């Protein structure tokens, strides 16, 4: 009578005793060899996958598929109930090795190869017990197959779950890189456009005044050179940021509030109007880097727009802070002459980009004309302690060119006020008190950034 061993609720046949015939011995040796071969191949596949010598995804699927195919062939060709010594131990080792390689196969292999190799491995793990199980208990055979099938299903599900997590991580990294590239592109637009507009203003100054005073022309050329060098440095810095893989190093060159006085000084030297700067005491104390950089970009964008649209207007730059917020206000009076023309150039993207950036920090950005002429760009940025509630940025179209005061129709202000009542992104009242900014009246219409006044002849009049 053969000896029985209980495995997973069933009985595994052992080698019969008392068998001394040469044919029986030869048959037993063959059974032992074909029992050990799939176990050896499965263990070798597991070592190949987990040793880390080769992380090739197709190789993982091939190793798993080859080991599983050999296991299935041995299971089909194996004589029922004629296992060699210790069939339960050898078969369990083989099944565990196949389960181990099934997880990385489902996780890393290409989808077609993962499906093929995973299916073979699942069948091999499910059916290996047919080699060692005694044929007198059908219920035990079915129960053992179901048990190992559940084990294989769990291993495959674990690999698929890890595959989904990897895909989400790769997608999030790609999205983060895309946002960084967009931020860098906006930096190029803000900083380079500011320097280029200064170059244009200095070139025009030298052209108009150079004939009367050559010294003015030489000074204008010097400032054009300085602005061009700053623009080139900004573009070089952006390229280095794109190629820099270390996020911490790529953010060290971001300008902040400490650069605002120098920015205003350069603007004052190249502007025909009066430029005033008002900084609150202790403004730079404990201001987050993102908030400081955003405030600097707001001032850059505002001064760039002033130079484009009203180069001879008076400008007031005010930066103030409270216990919970930092406020930035840049206002200019009406230009003395007509607005500088820029040909057929389309509207810029600076204000909509700033609106998205400010909204991501939980702040608000407003821009609009004043009743007495001029323009105001104001922002409120929460400090580090008040950034828990972030509002998603509202979609903003491209910015049309802002009209000069003499190009606005009498009904523009009423239409702007009606538009503001319907689409104001931040319903909170302005923090400014009447009389603080003489250039821009406190009761003037305000609108979200990116929507200057309408220009005569543009757009279609709505019917009805």
- Closest to 76 in 3D by CA, of 118, 149, 128: 128
Cα separation, 280 vs 288, in Å, equals 16
pLDDT reported for residue 136 = 63
pLDDT reported for residue 59 = 83
pLDDT reported for residue 424 = 39
Cα separation, 154 vs 162, in Å, equals 12
pLDDT reported for residue 383 = 83
Cα separation, 179 vs 160, in Å, equals 29
Q: Does 3.30.420.240 match the CATH number of domain 257-334+349-400+416-452?
A: no
Q: Which residues of the chain have pLDDT under 70?
A: 1-35, 52-56, 78-88, 133-136, 190-191, 234, 237-254, 336-349, 384-464
pLDDT reported for residue 153 = 94
pLDDT reported for residue 253 = 55
Cα separation, 370 vs 430, in Å, equals 14
pTM over 0.75: no
With vertex at residue 117, the alpha carbon angle to CA 114 and CA 122, rounded to the nearest 5 degrees, is 110
- Ordered by start, the domain boundaries in the chain are 4-169, 257-334+349-400+416-452
8 Å CB contact between 9 and 140:
yes
With vertex at residue 311, the alpha carbon angle to CA 308 and CA 315, rounded to the nearest 5 degrees, is 110
- Closest to 199 in 3D by CA, of 38, 51, 308: 308
Q: Give the β-pairing of 315-321 and 275-279.
A: parallel
DSSP output for 277-316: EEE-TTTTTT--HHHHHHHHHHHHHHHHHHHHH-TTS-EE
């Amino acid at each position: 009578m053969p000896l029985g061993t209980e495995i997973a609720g069933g009985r595994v046949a052992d080698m019969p005793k008392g068998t001394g015939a040469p044919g029986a011995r030869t048959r037993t040796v063959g059974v032992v060899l074909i029992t050990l071969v799939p176990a050896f191949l499965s263990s070798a596949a597991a070592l190949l996958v987990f040793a880390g010598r080769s992380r090739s995804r197709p190789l993982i699927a091939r190793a798993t598929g080859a080991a599983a195919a050999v296991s299935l062939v041995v299971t089909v060709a194996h004589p029922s109930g004629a296992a060699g010594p210790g069939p339960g131990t050898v078969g369990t080792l083989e099944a565990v090795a196949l389960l181990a390689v099934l997880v990385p196969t489902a996780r890393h292999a290409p989808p077609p190869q993962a499906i093929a190799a995973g299916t073979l491995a699942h069948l091999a793990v499910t059916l290996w017990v047919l080699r060692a199980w005694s044929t007198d208990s059908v219920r035990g055979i079915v129960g053992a197959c179901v048990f190992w099938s559940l084990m294989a299903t769990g291993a495959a599900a674990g690999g698929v779950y890890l595959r989904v997590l990897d895909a989400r991580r790769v997608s999030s990294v790609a999205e983060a890189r895309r946002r960084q590239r967009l931020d860098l592109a906006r930096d190029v637009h803000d900083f380079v456009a500011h320097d280029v507009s200064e170059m244009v203003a200095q070139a025009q100054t030298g052209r108009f005044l150079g004939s009367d005073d050559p010294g003015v022309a030489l000074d204008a050329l010097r400032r054009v050179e300085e602005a061009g060098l700053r623009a080139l440095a900004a573009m070089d810095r952006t390229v280095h940021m794109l190629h820099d893989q270390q996020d911490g190093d790529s953010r060290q060159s971001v300008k902040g509030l400490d650069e605002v006085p120098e920015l205003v000084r350069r603007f004052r030297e190249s502007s025909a109007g009066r430029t005033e700067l008002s900084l609150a005491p202790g403004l730079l104390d404990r201001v987050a880097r993102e908030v400081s950089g955003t405030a600097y970009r707001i001032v850059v964008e505002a001064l760039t727009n002033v130079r484009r649209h009203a180069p001879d207007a008076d400008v007031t730059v005010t930066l103030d802070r409270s216990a919970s917020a930092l406020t930035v206000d840049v206002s200019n009076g009406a230009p003395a002459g007509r607005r500088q023309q820029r040909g057929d150039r389309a509207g810029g993207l600076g204000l909509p980009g700033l609106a998205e950036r400010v909204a991501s920090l939980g702040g608000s950005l407003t821009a609009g004309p004043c009743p007495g002429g001029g323009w105001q760009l104001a922002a409120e940025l929460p400090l580090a302690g008040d950034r828990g509630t972030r509002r998603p940025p509202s979609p903003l179209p491209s910015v049309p060119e802002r009209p000069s005061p003499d190009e606005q129709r009498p009904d523009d202000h009423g239409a702007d006020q009606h538009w503001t009542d319907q689409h104001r992104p931040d319903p909170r009242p302005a923090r400014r008190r009447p009389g603080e900014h003489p250039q821009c009246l406190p009761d003037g219409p305000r609108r979200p950034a990116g929507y200057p006044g309408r220009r005569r002849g543009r757009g279609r009049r709505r019917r009805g």
